[in-house]
Amino acid sequence: MRLFGFSGHSGSGKTTLMVKLIPLLTARGLSVSTIKQANAGFDADKPGKDSYEHRAAGAGEVMVASGRRWALMHEYRDQPEFTEAELLARMSPVDLILVEGFRRWPHPRIEVWREAVGKPPLYPDDPLVVALATPDHPQGLDRPRLDLDDVAAIADFLLKQVGLP
């Protein structure tokens, strides 16, 4: 499985870009999965649901399944967070995994940056950022600039980076 990531400040458009890329990549015959880093308060469940009650009662893992999908929730409690390898091992094999966030993981990534967000780019401190996807034209850019609105060109760029057709 090949990994390619997207980093950037909140509100920069990482999720929007990924949502536009996924159908382009799958239309090319690639199997694609995603993994997204969430904040510490993240919860996929709701109080009052049976699965929530199972977790609240102390279950280490709770699987919710239907005829169309399933989800596995794992509680860390007193354990350290899973490593990249441990999380990826829980995913089914695919051609490409798109990663949102997880800037400490060692995979190539595109930074999504918008001047309007009001924060400086991250790429100067991240050698794994291989390009900047932006509607803007930042000065002194030392890596490729990709037009954030040209999703097909971004797809071509990332596939070349990971060695996929």
The residue that leads in pLDDT, 42 or 28, is: 28
Are 132 and 155 contacting, i.e. CB atoms less than 8 angstroms apart?
no
As a whole number, mean pLDDT of residues 149-161 equals: 98
Q: How confident is the model at residue 2 (pLDDT cuts 50, 70, 90)?
A: very high
Q: What is the per-residue burial (b if ≥16 Cβ within 10 Å, else e) of 87-104?
A: bbeeeeeebbbbbbbbbe
pLDDT tens digit string along 49-107?
999 999 999 998 999 999 999 999 888 777 788 889 999 999 999 999 999 999 889 99
As a whole-number percent, the residues of the chain with pLDDT over 70 amount to: 99
The predicted pLDDT at position 39 comes to: 74
With a CB cutoff of 8 Å and minimum separation 6, the contacts of 58 are: none
The residue that leads in pLDDT, 134 or 72, is: 134
List domains and CATH numbers for the chain: 2-40+79-162 (3.40.50.300)
Residue 41 has pLDDT above 70, yes or no: no
The predicted pLDDT at position 74 comes to: 85
Question: What distance in Å separates the CA atoms of residue 109 and residue 125, rounded to the nearest whole number?
Answer: 13
User: Global pTM?
Assistant: 0.89
Measured CA to CA in angstroms, residue 122 lies from 13, 36, 132, 149 at distances of 14, 18, 10, 20
